[in-house]
Every structure is written in C-alpha cells, then in structure tokens.
Amino acid sequence: MSGRLVDRRILVVGAGTRPSDEPDPPVGNGRAIAVAAAREGAHVICADVDEAAAGQSAELARKEGGTAEVITADLADAGQCEALPGRAGAIDGIVLNAGIGAGFALAGTSAEEWDRVFAVNLRAHFLICKAALPLLGEGGSIVFIGSVAGLRPGSLIPAYDASKAGLVGLTRHVALEGAGLGVRSNLIAPGLIDTPLGREASRHWKHRGRVRVPMGRQGTAWEVASAAVFLLSREASYITGQVLAVDGGLTLV
C-alpha cells in the first residue's frame, strides 16, 4: 500500500463516533481520523471508552484496506491514561481527540462538573503525553484535537472553553520537550463541524445555528481528518508547537 503513513502505527484516542438515531448520520472526528489514517497506510489503534464504537471505526478502517485494532480506555481514570501508550505497543503517532462538556455558564457549572471536564479534556492528555513521549521515536507526532472554543469564547460551557484553551499551552510544552527527541506536537482547532455531537449541540444550544461562518457552511469531520493526517505525516516534519484552525474562517470574525 502507498500513502503518507505507510508502516506507521497511529493511536487515535477517542476514535469512536457517538451513536445517532438519524438514518444517515455524519461521521465523528475520531472515526474520520482513524479511517483517513488507514487510507494512508497506517496501522490504526482505535481507543475509546465505548468498545463498540471503537470497533465500528476499526472495521471501517479495514474496509478501506488498512489494518486496525481496538483498545478501551476511560480517560477519567488517571491510571488508565498512564497505561494507554504502553498498551498500544510501538507507536509512531498519537491523535488525542476525546473531550466532553458539562455545565452551562458560570452560574450553572458545579465544581464537580468542572473537575470532570478537566480530567477528561486536559489531565488525560497530559498523562498520555507524559507516558508516550519516551516511547515515541524520531519522527513521532502528537496531534491534539482542540476547538476554536479554546481560542475564543462561545460554547457557553466555561469548563469546556477553559480546558480547550489549556490544551494550547500543553501542546506547546510537549513540542518543546519533544523537540530534542525528534517528536512533534501540534493542535487542530475545529470550528463548527457537522458531527453527531455537533448536531446534538445544535439541538440544545440554539445560538449555534446563528453563528456566521465566513465560508458559509459547517465543516466535515473528513476535513479535520485531512489536517490530522498531514500533521502526522513526514510532510509536516518541520512543524511543531502550532495551532491550526480548521474553521472556515470563524476565528476571523
């Protein structure tokens, strides 16, 4: 097989897609990234708290002619986060896609909700990187999936916004520590992306449908995946510590 990720083992954390009752639901970012990496020749390790969802992503990757396996992990559990890179075996790249939101505005967010969001959205990423950095060799790449909510307020979920902003700082720190090891670290900040989670958010937060995107449409998970594949590949060998907004120009307005 030819492709940009041939002979590379890529761990995609948050590789499943939230179940949907829609007849033809869109794909989620994690699943699209797993499938796109497989198309480019990678062996993909699909990790998710939902084993069935991860298994569906792995099966789609195999249908594209790639190879894939499944690992279950609960990112709210610190021990499971620390063990995850070792369980994945030899890896050349990691995509950290998992994230949750809880609470609404400052007054509607409890300390427990704040801590739960930070545990999954930021602490887990820190622990996985801490364990993975010694295992990734020269040419290794870590790709964080953040959000434009970490660059500008807008989700109305303060714990989500703050945790995604924290990922920017973590990305840059990992880039600095990883540079001497030949490991790169970058962050993708998706804007309004048409995923099952995005559609659910639209049903709950009516303001989402009124957001003006300069390019006039929502993005797709496949567009996020294309950026992730590039940053995982050797084509991005001199890019580290950067934030790439995949947002149709949303951060321009």
Helix (H, G, I), strand (E, B) or coil at 58: helix
What's the token pair of residue 155? 């989700």
160 is catalytic: yes
d(CA 131, CA 114): 24
Torsion of CA 177, 182, 183, 185, to 10 degrees: 70
Burial 149-176 (b: 16+ CB within 10 A, else e): bbbbebbbbbbbbbbbbbbbebbbebbe
- Measured CA to CA in angstroms, residue 171 lies from 60, 83, 144 at distances of 29, 20, 7
* Token duo for residue 49: 């708290």
Encoding tokens for residue 218?
């929502």
Amino acid identity of 204? H
Catalytic choice (12, 120, 160, 229): 160
Q: Mapping DSSP to helix (H, G, I), strand (E, B) and coil, where does residue 183 land?
A: coil
Just list the catalytic residues. Answer: 160
